[in-house]
Amino acid sequence: MNLPKKILKYSIVIIALILIVWGYFQLSNPLEITVTGTGTVSAPADSAKFIITLSDSYPDASTAATAITANTDAIRNYLEREGVAPENIIENEIKTIPGIAFNESTLGVRADKTLIVSLTDLSKITSLTSKLYSFGAKLISDPDYVVSDKSVWEKEAEKEALKDAEIKANYEMKKYRKFFKRISGISQSQSVSTADSFNPVTGQILNPFQNQEIDESSQNISKTFTVTFNLW
């Protein structure tokens, strides 16, 4: 009667040893995977700049200076009435070029001047620029939108990138039937302008912006991390 008990006891010990060895092997030799996580956030612009160009032909340099100065004053007065601070209007010097430089038969001079305008009230851009031509503006550039504190949005993009890496790692865990994971290495890759998202069901890479309209008054800030995980 004692023999079966001894056999059972030894069997339990052997099984326990096998499990210990197997567990040690698994812990000592995890499956290593590397995934790329990308996060993108849309950072709203808080200011914008545009350039106003005054340009025309005049009989002489004196007439050009008088006319362009008058138009410049009219534009400046209009912008200030609309709430643009004087220090946000930067004037460049008048440049005059003899008309003969363009055509031998052209008399007089060609005069040009630019003003750089900064706006913090982005809602006024369209209404302001549409009226500037009546004050002598020849050309108005498209607004250049500016995000002043990108570091805040870059941190948000980094969080989204790490979340994306976690999602991809979880997909790999299911595929290889692993139950635990740990980050063993992480490095930041070069930032990109758009982000791809990962479908954890199909394993496909998707572009979340492919069917969306682009908002020119905001900037897409992206961060990409290459993350190495150990899986058990």
What would the pLDDT profile of 37-52 be if each residue is shown by its tens digit?
Answer: 999 999 999 999 999 9
Identify the helix (H) or strand (E) that includes residue 109: strand 109-119
pLDDT recorded at residue 3:
58
pLDDT band at 193 (very low <50, low <70, confident <90, very high): very low
**CATH class entry, domain 47-146:** alpha beta
Least confident stretch, 58-62, 140-144, 175-179, 206-210: 206-210
Residue spans per domain, the chain: 30-44+149-231, 47-146
pLDDT band at 232 (very low <50, low <70, confident <90, very high): confident
Q: What is the mean pLDDT of residues 105-113?
A: 85
**CATH class entry, domain 30-44+149-231:** alpha beta
**Higher-pLDDT residue of 13, 39:** 39
Contact indicator for 169, 178 with CB cutoff of 8 Å:
no
φ, ψ (nearest 5 deg) of residue 204: -90, 150
Predicted confidence (pLDDT) at residue 170 exceeds the cutoff of 90: yes
**Higher-pLDDT residue of 20, 171:** 171
pLDDT band at 102 (very low <50, low <70, confident <90, very high): confident
Q: Which long-range contacts (CB under 8 A, 24 or more apart) does 17-26 make?
A: 26/232
Residue 70's region, left for phi above 0, alpha for psi from -120 to 50, else beta, is alpha
For the stretch 195-224, pLDDT in tens is: 344 444 444 444 444 444 445 678 889 999
pLDDT recorded at residue 166:
94
Predicted confidence (pLDDT) at residue 194 exceeds the cutoff of 50: no
Q: What residue type is 82 in one-letter code?
A: E
Q: Characterize 115-141 residue by residue with b for buried, 16 or more Cβ atoms within 10 angstroms of its Cβ, and e for exposed.
A: bebbbeeeeebeebbeebeebbbeebe
